[in-house]
C-alpha cells in the first residue's frame, strides 16, 4: 500500500494465472484497492483475511464504503469491479451461486463477500 515509490505504483500481483495466487505474498508494493473508481472486493477480502485492517488507513476507508453500501434490505449495492469478480467460481469457493443470470444471484454473491469482509475486518 506504500505510495512513496513511484516506480512501483500500479503494479498488480507478482503471481498471476488468471487470478491472484495466495493471499498477500504475491502483491507488489503500490497496488490499488480501486479499479476505475470501483471497489475491488476480492483484493480487500484477501487483505482483511490477513488481519491487517487496523494498520492500513486506505483499507479502512474502503471497508467503511462497503459497510455504508449495505442498504436497508441488507443487500450490498457498492460500486464494485465486476471484472475482478468474473473469475469467481463455485470450485474456488468464491461464488455461492451457480451463475449470475439473475440480479438476485449476483446481489447474493456480492453481499456475501461484503459481509465476509466486514467479518474479517472486525467491523
DSSP 12: -
The answer to whether 65 and 77 have CB atoms below 8 angstroms apart is no
pLDDT confidence tier of residue 74, bands split at 50, 70 and 90? very high
1 found inside a domain: no
Give the count of domains, the chain: 1
| CA 77 to the chain's CA centroid | 14
90 found inside a domain: yes
Question: For the residues 33-59, what does the mean pLDDT come to?
Answer: 85
Place of cell 474502503: 62
79 found inside a domain: yes
Note the pLDDT tens digit of each residue in 75-106: 999 988 777 666 555 555 556 777 778 888 88
Burial 41-51 (b: 16+ CB within 10 A, else e): bbbbbbbbbee
73 found inside a domain: yes
30 found inside a domain: yes
Query: Can you give the residue range of the structural domain that contains 50?
Result: 6-120
Amino acid at each position: 500500500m506504500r505510495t512513496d515509490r513511484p516506480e512501483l505504483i500500479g503494479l498488480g500481483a507478482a503471481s498471476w494465472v488468471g487470478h491472484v495466487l495466495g493471499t498477500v505474498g504475491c502483491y507488489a508494493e503500490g497496488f490499488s484497492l480501486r479499479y476505475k473508481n470501483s471497489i475491488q472486493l476480492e483484493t480487500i477480502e484477501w487483505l482483511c483475511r490477513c488481519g491487517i485492517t487496523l494498520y492500513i488507513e486506505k483499507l479502512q476507508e474502503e471497508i467503511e464504503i462497503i459497510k455504508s453500501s449495505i442498504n436497508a434490505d441488507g443487500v450490498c449495492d457498492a460500486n464494485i469491479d465486476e471484472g475482478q469478480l468474473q473469475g469467481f467460481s463455485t470450485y474456488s469457493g468464491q461464488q455461492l451461486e451457480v451463475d449470475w443470470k439473475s440480479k438476485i444471484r449476483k446481489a447474493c454473491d456480492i453481499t456475501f463477500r461484503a459481509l465476509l469482509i466486514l467479518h474479517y475486518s472486525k467491523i
